[in-house]
Amino acid sequence: MGILTIGCFPGLVGNMSYDFALKLADAAVSKGHKVNIWFSGNATSSVKAHQKHLKDYSTGEKHLAALIEKGVEICTCEACTVARGVQKTESIEKIQWNAMHWYLAKIHASDRVLQIGGE
Amino acid sequence: MGDVKLAFIVQKPQYKGETSRLAITHAISYQTVEILLADGDTVTPTLCFVGEGVLGLQNGQKAMDLYGITSTETHVKNSLLVDLDVLVCKEDLAKYGIPEDAMPDAEDMGADKKIKIAPFSEIQKAIDEAKHILFF
């Protein structure tokens, strides 16, 4: 099985690219692939815990928790995240916080990389 | 695994969105990636500006004065300071009427590296040589 690393930059609400990234990750890990997800830019605000799932809006929290349970490594860019006012203590459990070199290190070991750009 | 070459392709104008700038800062982070890699492993990015991505690179930017944020010019200079290969598409500069001598350099910071104004064929070569391509 392969290693897939997804760089996810779009915001949780406002387009469907974020939803696509998570669904793709779920499909890949369910097939037995190792999956890493890197959040940068507006995607980083999605790591905040206690999201209320309103039916008119995409939600990240329950999907992220499920992916982590399946072994997906998820890391948020610390600088991008704190710039949006989200502190580590408010984060969804088991999401890693690191700098951009985390993404490059995961890419180094990856068979495939999917960079999903933001707005 | 050794060295892994990456091509960072910036297609969006600077300041229009955040991701064109994030392309630069992500590429710069190659400088510290080795702390997370095995001995002998490295990552070598090439930072390429094409299409509308060549917009907003000119020298003389005052983003810090006017908006309180680091300018793209400074980020590009930092890229040169850490010896990143920075390619700017020659044809696209011409298309937008941007003079080649408007591109910043980092001589004042002590960098030897300079931006390379490259024909697209050379950028294509960097893409061909990269294991992974990241579009911003």
What is the structure's pLDDT at A87?
97
Chain B residues whose CB is inside 8 A of the A117 CB are 12, 19, 135-136
**Chain B CA closest to residue A117:** B136
Burial zone of B39 (CB within 10 Å; 0-12 exposed, 13-18 middle, 19+ buried): exposed
What is the structure's pLDDT at A119?
72
What is the structure's pLDDT at A15?
84
**Range with the poorest average pLDDT among A8-17, B73-82, B97-106, B119-128:** A8-17
d(CA B136, CA B114): 22
ipTM score: 0.92
For chain A, the first-to-last Cα distance in angstroms comes to 32
Domain that holds residue B22: 3-135
- Count of structural domains, chain B: 1
Chain A residues whose CB is inside 8 A of the B26 CB are 40, 100, 103-104
Average pLDDT, chain A: 96
Distances, alpha carbon B115 to alpha carbons A64, B47, B54, B78, in Å: 40, 10, 12, 12
Distances, alpha carbon B40 to alpha carbons A38, B6, B30, B34, in Å: 24, 17, 14, 9
**Range with the poorest average pLDDT among A7-11, A50-54, B55-59, B90-94:** A50-54
Class of the CATH-defined domain A3-49+58-109? alpha beta
Put simply, whether B29 touches A (Cβ < 8 Å) is yes
Tell if the CB–CB gap between A101 and B132 is shorter than 8 Å.
no
pLDDT one-digit tens code per residue, A73-89: 999 999 999 999 999 99
User: What CATH number does residue B33 fall under?
Assistant: 3.40.1260.10
Sign of CA dihedral A100, A101, A104, A106: negative
Q: How far is A59 from chain B (nearest CA, A)?
A: 22
